[in-house]
């Protein structure tokens, strides 16, 4: 987190305290949006907001997951072959990402037969708000806030208790931020403040298996 500019310290002496940087504090709206999305669409039982944020980011941080979600968002029910073609992924990686997105409750299939197309679940189609929040945070204004913050000198080990953020959460947030840099309908077509994706389908938060 210190290396990513999310926390800072006044000097690099051993034992010097850490505090949130300006960029780290600016993540608060993103975390609220992610937590709200998790509460609304994921059946996780009793869980702290910090854990909900980390769980949600875990579902999105794998490389090419966003690409697969975008392909489904753009085309409605999509067969496996078309998903692989549109994302440019080989069959093995495309299948692995679809299985992971299914188990995470973001994607499902419209039938049990081999070759049945995939669609976004309710949780997947409402990710627009999450991506929009991350995209706004990673805007040039956020970059300027980051450049005005003190430069990190060593890796951080602590965080402020008032913001649901951890080392793992910071890494996944950074990965999601990089994913959001690419322009696509998933980030731009939905109205604010609650952008939505098309094609309503039933939510499926329990793990599912299929190809």
- Taking only the tens place, the pLDDT of each residue in 18-50 is 899 998 899 999 999 999 999 989 887 787 888
Is the pLDDT score of 132 beyond 50?
A: yes
**Cβ count near 154 (within 10 Å):** 12
Share of the chain above pLDDT 70, in %: 66
What is the dihedral angle through the alpha carbons of 5, 38, 206, 86, rounded to the nearest 10 degrees? Answer: -60
85: its two tokens: 């073609």
Q: What is the mean pLDDT of residues 63-82?
A: 91
How much is the mean pLDDT over the chain? 73
3: its two tokens: 């290396």
**Cβ count near 141 (within 10 Å):** 11
- Asked if 80 and 94 touch (Cβ cutoff 8 Å), the reply is yes
- Taking only the tens place, the pLDDT of each residue in 137-190 is 887 655 555 555 444 333 323 222 233 333 344 444 444 444 444 334 454 443
Is the pLDDT score of 116 beyond 90?
A: yes
Q: What is the pLDDT of residue 142?
A: 52
Model confidence at 93, pLDDT cuts 50, 70, 90, reads very high
Helix 65-75 to helix 49-60 angle, to the nearest 10 degrees?
Answer: 80
| Domains of the chain, earliest start first | 25-135+163-188 (1.10.10.10)
Q: What is the pLDDT of residue 105?
A: 93
The more confidently predicted of residues 59 and 172 is 59
């Amino acid at each position: 987190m210190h290396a990513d500019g999310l926390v800072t310290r006044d000097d690099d002496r051993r034992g010097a305290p850490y505090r949130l940087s300006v960029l780290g504090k600016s993540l608060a709206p993103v975390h609220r949006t992610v937590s709200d999305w998790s509460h609304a669409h994921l059946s996780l039982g009793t869980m702290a907001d910090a854990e909900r944020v980390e769980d949600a980011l875990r579902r999105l941080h794998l490389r090419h997951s966003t690409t697969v979600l975008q392909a489904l968002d753009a085309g409605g029910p999509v067969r496996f072959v078309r998903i692989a073609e549109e994302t440019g992924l080989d069959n093995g990686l495309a299948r692995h990402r679809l299985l992971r997105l299914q188990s995470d409750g973001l994607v499902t299939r419209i039938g049990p037969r081999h070759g049945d197309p995939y669609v976004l679940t309710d949780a997947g189609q409402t990710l627009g708000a999450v991506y929009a929040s991350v995209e706004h945070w990673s805007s040039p204004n956020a970059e300027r806030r980051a450049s005005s913050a003190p430069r990190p000198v060593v890796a951080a080990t602590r965080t402020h208790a008032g913001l649901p953020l951890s080392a793992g959460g910071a890494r996944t947030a950074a990965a999601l931020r990089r994913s959001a840099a690419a322009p696509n309908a998933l980030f731009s077509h939905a109205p604010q403040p609650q952008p939505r994706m098309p094609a309503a389908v039933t939510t499926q938060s329990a793990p599912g298996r299929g190809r």
